[in-house]
Amino acid sequence: MNQTEKHRLKIGIPRALYFYKYGPFWTAFLEFLNCDVKISGPTTSVIVEEGTKDANSELCIPIKIYFGHVKNLLSEFPDLDYIFIPRYVSSHKEQFFCPKFLILPEAVKYGLKFDTPIITLEINVKKNSEHESAINFGKILGYNQETMIKAWDYANQKFEEFQDKAYEGDYIELLDELDTNPKHKRKKKKLKQFIPEAIRGKFMVNILVLGHSYNVYETHINRDLIGRLEAMDCNVTTIEKLPKSEFSEKITINEQYHQYWQSEDEILKTARYYLRDGKNTIDGVIFLISFACGPDSLIQEIVMRDMKKRKISYLDLVLDEHSGESGLITRIESFTDMIRRKKYN
């Protein structure tokens, strides 16, 4: 279907997986092309349930949530022209994304049955340059090369602006701002203050939260981990708060192997930064892992062993659709208490 002046294409984006990272890029890109962008609402229990119903039980929870969001989009906006499902293969010559991202459009297309066509932006720098993939995308919508290159550059610029803003501001709020739908507005959560008034703010601990953006900022599935940590008098740092210059170097494991997963690369680099330069600025590390996540299951082992060597407290939290809230709270409470006792006694 081509974009015409009369008909503005309605394109839906599921608010899951890399929306939490590249969302600002996608929306800017599609808006430059004069598309009407619809984003699915924040994750709810219903979405998780719907997703789990149709996805294979051995898939990781973020993919299941993605399925749920696609279904949610279809029911909320039945008149969508396309569903936007990107295919991230690699964005650096030597790196890959997780296999599940490689066939995400097919997984959704064949895993769920629906009629709305899927539109795919394929990012594969092993085969095409970034502009080429934009041009390929434009062919579907009927745009010429020039417009597509412009759209790409515009989106890139917007994306960088977003990252700069996120460096200082609240990442989750900034992401929510992308969605102008008033129905999807979220109120700031009121969280229980764990620390008695008398000593609040006096015994602060610094925590680094590692993990994929779609685990760290997906407040439904991680039960608002960052908010809770802040309610426990913690200063929380995430990957996004690290200076960009830290991500330029190539990373090796055991000095002879190179690391080839894109998002694990960022996690490892952050972990290494805090092992090296930022060692004294953090007291503990929490690694958010989704159950059945392949890359994390291995990278977690390296991070854990490194942290142990440097005697930095480390906790891994495994997320799945069954995990209860109380277990998670007990773990983070014990963890912060443990650090606090170590630090101040």
Partner 1 sequence: MTDQIAIVSNIEEKSLIKKNEKRKEKTLDVFMGIDIGSVSLKIVLLDKNNSIIEKLWLRNQGSPIESSKKGIRELKEKLESSGMFNKINIKGVGTTGSARYLIKSVIGGDIAKTEIIAHAVASLTYYPDVKTILEIGGQDSKIIILRNGVVADFAMNSVCAAGTGSFLDHQASRLGIPIEKFGEYALRADSDISIAGRCGVFAESDMIHKAQMGYSKEEIVKGLCDALVRNYLNNVGKGKEIKPPIVFQGGVSYNEGLVKAFEEALGAEILVPEENILMGAIGAAILVREESERTEKISENWKTKFRGFNVLNLEFETKAFRCQGCPNRCEVVSVYMKTGEEDENGKEKKEIVARWGDRCGKWAVY
Partner 2 sequence: MVIRVSFPSMGWSKIAFKGLYRPIPGVEVVDPPVVTRDIVELGAKYSPEFVCLPFKVTLGEFINMIENYNCNVFIMSIDCGPCRLGFYAPIQERILKDLGYDVTIIPIQQDDLLDFQWLEPFYKITKVKGKLMRMVDIVKGIRFAFLKGSFIEDITRYEGIIRCREINKGDTTKTVEKLLKILDKEWDFQKLHQFHKVVKREFKKIPINRDIEPLRIMIAGENHIVLEPYINMDIVKKFGDEGIEVHQGNSLYGWVMHKLHVNFKRKTLERIAKPYIPMDIGGEAIWVIGHYIKCQKEGFDGFIHAYPFTCMPEVSARGIIEGQQPDPFYLPIQFYSFDEHTGYEGMRTRLEAFVDLMKLNRKNNPKFQDNYIEPPEIREIFDIPEKYEGINTFFTGIVEPFLNTLKILPKLKVNKRQHEK
Nearest distance from C-beta of residue 50 to partner 2, angstroms:
15
Picked from partner 2, partner 1, none, the partner binding residue 202 (CB below 5 to 8 A depending on kind) is: partner 1
111 counts as binding partner 2 under rule CB under 8 A: yes
- DSSP assignment of 271-284 equals HHHHHHTTGGG-SE
125 counts as binding partner 2 under rule CB under 8 A: no
Nearest distance from C-beta of residue 83 to partner 1, angstroms:
20
309 counts as binding partner 1 under rule CB under 8 A: no
Question: In a 10 Å sphere around its CB, with 0-12 CB exposed, 13-18 middle and 19+ buried, how is residue 276 labelled?
Answer: exposed
Nearest to 225 by CA among 290, 307, 304: 290
89 counts as binding partner 2 under rule CB under 8 A: yes
Radius of gyration of the chain (CA): 21
Nearest distance from C-beta of residue 70 to partner 2, angstroms:
13
Q: Which of residues 304-323 bind partner 2 (CB under 8 A)?
A: 305, 318
- Of 58, 93, 198, 254, the one binding partner 1 (CB under 8 A) is 198
How far, CA to CA in Å, does 271 sit from each of 48, 172, 211, 291?
Answer: 30, 22, 10, 21
Write the interaction track for partner 1 spanning residues 223-242; mark x where CB under 8 A is met and - where it is not: x-------------------
What interhelical angle do 130-141 and 145-168 show, nearest 10?
120
The number of beta carbons lying within 10 Å of the beta carbon of residue 181 is 12
130 counts as binding partner 1 under rule CB under 8 A: no
Which stretch, 11-19, 39-47, 134-142, 209-217, contacts partner 1 (CB under 8 A)?
Answer: 39-47
Q: How far apart are CA 144 and CA 138, in angstroms?
A: 7
Q: How far apart are CA 155 and CA 149, in angstroms?
A: 10
Q: How far apart are CA 343 and CA 337, in angstroms?
A: 10
Whether 204 contacts 235, CB under 8 Å: yes
Nearest distance from C-beta of residue 56 to partner 2, angstroms:
4
Q: How many residues does the chain have?
A: 345
59 counts as binding partner 2 under rule CB under 8 A: yes
- Of 30, 107, 135, 315, the one binding partner 2 (CB under 8 A) is 107
Q: How far apart are CA 85 and CA 75, in angstroms?
A: 17
- Strand 252-253 versus strand 257-258 pairing type: antiparallel
1 counts as binding partner 2 under rule CB under 8 A: no
185 counts as binding partner 1 under rule CB under 8 A: no
- Of 78, 182, 196, 201, the one binding partner 1 (CB under 8 A) is 196
Picked from partner 2, partner 1, none, the partner binding residue 46 (CB below 5 to 8 A depending on kind) is: partner 1
Nearest distance from C-beta of residue 106 to partner 2, angstroms:
6
**In which element (H, E) is residue 52 found?**
helix 45-54
φ/ψ of residue 252, rounded to 5: -125, 155
Binding site for partner 1 (CB under 8 A): 44-47, 187, 189-192, 196, 198-199, 202, 220, 223, 304, 311, 313-314, 318, 322-323, 326-327, 330-331, 333-335, 337-338, 341-342, 345
Binding site for partner 2 (CB under 8 A): 54-56, 58-59, 89, 96-100, 102-103, 106-107, 110-113, 253-254, 256-258, 260-261, 289, 291-298, 300-302, 305, 318
